[in-house]
Structures are given as structure tokens and as C-alpha cells.
Amino acid sequence: MIDAETHLYAVLGNPVRHSLSPALHNGAFRRMGLNAVYLAFEVQNLPEAIAGIRGLGIRGVSVTIPFKAEIISLLDEVDETARKIKAVNTILNRDGRLIGYNTDWSGAIEALEQKVRLEGKRVLLLGAGGAARAIGYGLKRRRAEILLCNRSLQKGKALAEEIGCAWKPLSAAKDFEADLLINATSVGMHPYGRVSPVPKAILRQGMTVMDIVYRPLRTRLLRETE
Ligand code: ATR
């Protein structure tokens, strides 16, 4: 029941109407018996939204596209890992101090580790945006051997140098015999869901494939692994 004691949590993004975060968090609150509610806010002006978190005492906030980098300079404190990844996706309001964290990398790495041991694995990482940076950082921490491939060469090279891994153009991805393939691009996302970022011939027996695109849940890339 929502009453005067209910705590508010939120996700800030734009666009944000597709977000699964309210369904996930409200479901978890219910199951845990917490008197809390989680809403999605489509934000136009980020500093005003941050003032709103402080002013209303919103307990915790998720941050999504396009604010993950911009928000860093507006917080009171940013955890060291989030600072390295240059992205905050989670804010904790601790007695009025807003502290930024990044859980994108640990979420992805924990999901992968349920399937494979990452140390020494040959990983083909597609993309050079924020998602690729977070996952690449996590893979590096787990001592995987990474080849980063991206459509735009400049962005690919810059991120590979930042992470400290090899890189090639996307068209060269097919020559790398990977144990693990991770799509960290937006290719395959609704409403352009009929495409895959790589040709099917790249997929090999025994390869583990992860797609960060979750709409549709079964992307063309994942369907082609069957
Ligand atoms: P995010 O922060 O979610 O990772 P982003 O910074 O917009 O999002 O990055 C999107 C990634 O998807 C980039 O690597 C982008 O490649 P470019 O750097 O060349 O733009 C990749 N991407 C998007 N559309 C693509 C397409 N049609 N083909 C190949 N790569 C694509």
C-alpha cells in the first residue's frame, strides 16, 4: 500500500518509456515487503532533476541514456570504478549526499560468470559506447583476452587504448576465433530487430554469446546461435 511512509525510487532517462526498471524494482519491493515505489522520469533538464532528488529525498536512482556521463559532475561523490568507466548508472542518497556507482560492469560480468570462467578466454567485444566500456573494463579485470571491434574506427581505437586491449574494424571480427562473443552495440534493437551485428558464420560450436540488447529478448544474433 502507498502511504505517507512510502519511499520513492526512480529511473532518470530520456527516452525512458521502454524501461523495464519500474517493473523489476517494484516487483522486487513487493516480494521483499518494502514500503517503496519506483517510477520512471523522462528528464529534460538534468540539474533540475538532481535538485528534485535532493529536495524530495528520493532514496535511490537509476540513471540511463543519455545521462550516465553528464551526471558525474552533478554528484557529491563518485565511486572510483564509476569514475574509471566514466559512467554512473546508480545513485544512492545517503543522508542528503548523492553518491554515484556503476553496476553495469558487475551485472554483466556476474551474468557471464554463471556460464564461463573468464580468465584467459578469447573475447570478441563488439561496440565502443558506454556499454562496451563498462563490460570491457570488467573483462580486463577478469584477465580475459579482448579483441574490440567497432564500426567507427576512431572510437574503437580510443576505447581499446583506454581499456588496454587489441582492436580491429568490425569487418575483421570474423577472423578472430573467440570463446565468447559479446554484442555491446545497439544493433538488433527494436524497431530494427531484424539485423545482427556480425555474420552468422562467426558463430562457432561451444562459443558463448551475450547480447546486451534486451528488446527483443531473443535478438537475431541469439536466434542464430541455435
Ligand atoms: P551505449 O552507451 O549504450 O553503448 P552508444 O554510445 O550510442 O551507446 O554506442 C552504441 C554502439 O553501437 C557504438 O559502438 C556504435 O558504433 P559507432 O561507434 O560506430 O557509432 C554501435 N552501433 C550503433 N549502430 C550501429 C550499426 N548500425 N552498425 C554497427 N555498429 C553500430
What does the buried/exposed string (b/e) look like for 17-49 if buried means 16 or more CB atoms within 10 Å of the residue's CB?
Answer: eebebbeebbeebeeeeeebebebbebeebeeb
Closest atom of ligand 1 relative to the 212 alpha carbon? 3
Q: Is 11 in the pocket of ligand 1 (CB under 6 A)?
A: no
pLDDT mean values, one per 10 residues, the chain (226 residues): 96 94 98 98 98 97 95 97 95 97 96 97 96 96 98 97 96 94 95 91 96 93 96
Answer yes or no: is the C-beta of 128 below 6 A from any ligand 1 atom: yes
Cα 195 to ligand 1 centre (Å): 14
Residue 151 CB–ligand 1 contact under 6 Å: yes
- Give the bridge partners for 209, in sequence order: 181
Ligand 1 atom showing the smallest separation from residue 126 Cα: 14
207 C-alpha to ligand 1 centroid (Å)? 23
Using alpha carbons, list the distances in angstroms from residue 204 to 131, 189, 208. 24, 23, 9
- 189 pocket-lining for ligand 1 (C-beta < 6 Å): no
Provide the annotated active-site residues.
68
Pocket test residue of 157, 186, 212 for ligand 1, highest count of atoms within 8 A of CB: 186
Residue 47: the pLDDT is 98
Ligand 1 closest atom vs CA 195: 27
125 Cβ below 6 A of ligand 1 = no
| Positive or negative torsion for Cα 67, 11, 193, 185 | positive
The pLDDT assigned to 193 comes to 79
Helices marked H in the chain — which ranges? Answer: 21-32, 46-56, 80-85, 104-113, 130-141, 153-163, 220-223
For ligand 1, atom 6, the nearest C-alpha belongs to 129
221's CB contacts (< 8 A; 6+ apart) are 183, 188, 196, 197, 198, 209, 211, 213
Which pLDDT does position 8 carry in this prediction?
A: 98
Place of cell 528528464: 43
